[in-house]
Structure 1
Amino acid sequence: NMAGRDRIVHLLRQLERAACRCPAHSHTFHQGAAAAGGRKTDYAFEMASSNIRYGAGVSGFTCQVRLQDLQNLGAQNVCLMTDRTVSRLPPMQAVLESLVRNRVRFQVFDDVRVEPTDSSFKEAISFAKKDSFDVFVAVGGGSVIDTCKAANLYSCHPDADFLDFVNAPIGKGRPVTRALKPLIAVPTTAGTGSETTGVAIFDYEPLKAKTGIASRALRPTLGIVDPLHTLSMPERVAANSGFDVLCHALESYTALPYSQRAPCPTNPINRPAYQGSNPISDVWSRHALSVVSKYMKRAVRDSEDLEARSSMHLASVFAGIGFGNAGVHLCHGMSYPIAGNVKTHTARGYSVEHPLVPHGLSVVLTAPAVFSFTAPMCPERHLEAAEILGADVRQVKRADAGAVLADTLRRFLFDLQVEDGLGAVGYDKDDIPALVKGTLPQERVTKLSPRAHTEEDLSRLFETSMKLY
């Protein structure tokens, strides 16, 4: 009726007035009804997320629940994926015991690589193609869940070339048009949010840079989030996982608005998973940042602080829903060559035999420089983020938003004993050209930066990030 219509228009106008009014984030809600024809930038956004079940004991102590999930999906042959470390931990043991006890047919792939590569993805894909699996289950961190997504995708497209679905410009970036098999994700870390998203990230070894596959079709059918699993995380794993949550929240909240992202899709299937900041993602990202501010230091310092670790596990989900629809930008785009070009750095607290800069660490090391750079495009949002993280911004000028957020982040990282910049993980100024070269193909995320940037800008950001304190 007319009264209802007037009420909706009134609410939309209130939202528009309440939103950040700077050029980068003044979402033009009134343009949403305009026809897409002729537009260069998008006019709409979509909200997508996996079903999430959260609670202490939803998997580890009541494995019958997961068995019933498999029965509800009609599972006859389950592909169970994990890594060598998690394969020995209670969450995986509980799953195995339940499957054996209830005579559910399954096969285990436990060769997932921490920070997967195209080669390790292909090994998992080959495993998945050897049998006719009807349900996939991933137990582990983001590396396991992402690997399982890829295995599911390519086993359902047995004739596809590996690069067909990989993001452009490295791959062909083709849309996924077939339905995949159901995938149940059981995250054992609190960081990636992979249980909520349609994104699978890997190191593309020929270019020494990370890329990925992004499609809503990859989203797990169900994410079973049991905070008791996070009690087994070592201190540095908890820290680096938390930094991923921090940057997911900050980057998605400050990303280019969806209404300024180009091109406008001619078909909804071509609308990317990472669409730009939008009013729904903003809610999730901002709340995730609040939880990080309140609980992350406690969660890192005390592995038995169930309240803090539970809160960070839920924050990972919140941020996953936010960035899974809005996207991330420069911290993640620059992190991929930082991880991919690692020389000899050995990550503290990780049981791996190869050199490693953990994902969350590779992301957060550039955060002070990045947000100092992007702040002029939306100072209000940067100041709000700094305030949520504990800064007093009452007397701060808009022009100082970047410096304030950067200083706030440095204090946060120093308190959590983060390495002193890229120099502390084995890089120097001579490596900057290679790091820039590895960032350039990351258009899927870098184009969502609210501030346009050149190769020279990227060089300066890497140089500034060589030392943090």
Structure 2
Amino acid sequence: MTEERSLSYGSNFRMSKAKHLLRLIRKTNDCCPMHSQNYGLSNSHVRKEYALEMACSSIRYGPGVTEEVGMDFENMGAKKIAVITDKNLAVLPPVIKAVQAIEKCGLQYEVFDNVRVEPTDSSFIECIEFARKANPDAFLAIGGGSVMDTAKAANLYNAYPDADFLDFVNAPVGRGLPVTKTLSPLIAIPTTAGTGSETTGVSVFDYEPLKAKTGIANRAIRPTLGIVDPENILTMPERVTAYSGFDVLCHAIESYTALPYTERGPAPENPKFRPAYQGSNPLSDVWSRHACYITAKYFKRAVKDPEDYEARQNMHLASAMAGVGFGNAGVHLCHGLSYSISGLNREYRAENYPKEKKLIPHGLSVCITAPAVFAATADSSLDRHAEIAEILGGKPVRKEDAGKALPEVLREYLHDLDVPDGLGALGYSDEDIPNLVAGALPQKRVLCISPIDASAEPIAEIYAKSMKNY
């Protein structure tokens, strides 16, 4: 992968190590058929979307509800459960309590505790192989988004024992095949307040051959039940609290400002092909907006005071609420641009995360471009951007000032919560922009509900403006 290519967007940068990605991009249109926008092309003949569909997991909330999980599996008729977690959590109270609850009901179980933080295709495959060998009839995921996403993939491929790994991975990286089988029950117990993965049919991983994130998106893989127990996040480290909280915030803002669902096209020929990420819509708006209100009130408190139980409890709720919102509306540029930021990381190691590995946490990779993203998207819906700026900043914002007000409020949050100062602080420079762009462009699932042109030039400009935020 040594091809060099010049892209003209202000300055000419040299493109390297992107041959495979560029080939994928060239093979596809501006979007996959179910998400097509075709910026710059006439699509007057395309029938736009006319319907929306709300789908999410059942959610149970309350202190101590982890201890009910054994009865839940018993009520489902499960006999053998695959418990998916990571090595750190395996010895902590959330997993111990859940396993005890399963044992109390006399059910069999096997534990897989080798989930990787920020999972990869190879770590997914390891868990899939475990599941196929264990042959459970139900799954339990206890952990953050990495654990829940890994369990979703294991459940999916366990139902398709002969499937190739790329069969269900989003196009253009994978084949994006539909899921036609009914999967085993999956209960998800989140131990962070950020991803909202307990509510969604999305599973994200690093695809190592391309050094970029991709995923699987299908309503069929969403958990049967999400158990949101605020007792499980009391020991969440400070940086994990901060970065997972920014993930909540970006989920809510991106879904609220996404391309309206009625502007997405073409409408599916069959409702089973309606995508999980549909664009902003009246049902998702309720959840996304309310998640912003909760985050405005409790986010900084939850990070700055680990003993503030009220704040952490409410951020746990905000995570689930934002999950319902973005799980049906979708996210766009912050997430679409984040995948190459984390995938191309060279040396950055985040505090409070495993020290033995280079890692840019998901929430950090998402929020680092937020000021530049929402400055760029403001004109697409000035009223919505102004409303979010007002909610987060706590003071009135004129609609015409939204393009400056929301980025400024977000910079204040980033600065107050000690987020590194832009991509430069993560080890990137202008010379990396071509590779970052090349890693972002295949993220069709999210870029295609961007409210603005999500081609190479505007994406490059956002990366350039995100090199330094303060």
Fold-level similarity (TM above 0.5): yes
Letter in 1 for 2:75: N
Q: Write out per-residue CA displacement over residues 134-163 of structure 1, whole angstroms, 9 at most, x where no aligned residue.
A: 010000000000000000000001111111
Paired residue secondary structure (2:352): coil
Shift of 1:391: 4.9
Letter in 2 for 1:48: A
Aligned equivalents of 1:139 and 1:454: distance in 2?
38
Aligned equivalents of 1:389 and 1:316: distance in 2?
16
Q: Write out per-residue CA displacement over residues 286-313 of structure 1, whole angstroms, 9 at most, x where no aligned residue.
A: 0000000000000011112111000000
Q: How does 1:193-208 map to 2 (within 5 A)?
A: 193-208=196-211
Shift of 1:44: 0.4
Q: Which residue of 2 aligns with 1:221?
A: 224
Q: How does 1:1-400 map to 2 (within 5 A)?
A: 39-59=46-66, 63=67, 65-394=68-397, 396-398=398-400, 400=401
Q: 2:342–2:365: 8 Å Cα contact kept in structure 1?
A: yes
Q: 1:391–1:408: 8 Å Cα contact kept in structure 2?
A: no
| Corresponding pairs, count | 426
TM-score by length of 1: 0.89
Aligned equivalents of 2:358 and 2:444: distance in 1?
26
Paired residue secondary structure (2:209): helix
Letter in 1 for 2:62: G
Q: Write out per-residue CA displacement over residues 329-373 of structure 1, whole angstroms, 9 at most, x where no aligned residue.
A: 000000000011111101011134210000000000000000000
Shift of 1:67: 1.1
Aligned equivalents of 1:101 and 1:418: distance in 2?
43
Letter in 2 for 1:454: S
Change (3 A) 1:352 1:218: farther
Paired residue secondary structure (1:56): coil
Paired residue secondary structure (2:48): coil
Q: 2:298–2:315: 8 Å Cα contact kept in structure 1?
A: yes
Paired residue secondary structure (1:273): coil
Aligned equivalents of 2:81 and 2:238: distance in 1?
33
Q: 2:71–2:105: 8 Å Cα contact kept in structure 1?
A: no
Paired residue secondary structure (2:216): strand
Paired residue secondary structure (1:195): helix
Aligned equivalents of 1:155 and 1:347: distance in 2?
33
Q: 1:248–1:328: 8 Å Cα contact kept in structure 2?
A: yes
Q: Is 2:442 the partner of 1:441?
A: yes
Paired residue secondary structure (1:212): strand
Paired residue secondary structure (2:234): helix
Aligned equivalents of 1:381 and 1:397: distance in 2?
8
Q: Which residue of 2 aligns with 1:457?
A: 458
Aligned equivalents of 1:456 and 1:202: distance in 2?
26
Letter in 1 for 2:408: D
Aligned equivalents of 1:176 and 1:225: distance in 2?
27
Aligned equivalents of 1:144 and 1:131: distance in 2?
18
Aligned equivalents of 2:218 and 2:101: distance in 1?
32
Paired residue secondary structure (2:53): coil
Q: Write out per-residue CA displacement over residues 162-206 of structure 1, whole angstroms, 9 at most, x where no aligned residue.
A: 111111111111111100000000000000000000000000111
Shift of 1:403: 1.2
Aligned equivalents of 1:237 and 1:42: distance in 2?
38
Shift of 1:393: 3.3
Paired residue secondary structure (1:168): coil
Identity %: 60
358-367 vs 97-106, which moves further: 97-106
Q: Unmatched 5+ residue regions in structure 1?
A: 1-37
Q: Unmatched 5+ residue regions in structure 2?
A: 1-44
Q: 1:85–1:351: 8 Å Cα contact kept in structure 2?
A: no
Q: 1:372–1:405: 8 Å Cα contact kept in structure 2?
A: yes
Q: Which residue of 2 aligns with 1:10?
A: none
Aligned equivalents of 1:372 and 1:213: distance in 2?
29
Shift of 1:103: 3.2
Aligned equivalents of 2:114 and 2:204: distance in 1?
17
Q: Which residue of 2 aligns with 1:26?
A: none
TM-score by length of 2: 0.89
Aligned equivalents of 2:103 and 2:271: distance in 1?
43
Q: Which residue of 1 aligns with 2:31?
A: none
Aligned equivalents of 1:186 and 1:112: distance in 2?
15
Aligned equivalents of 1:438 and 1:416: distance in 2?
28
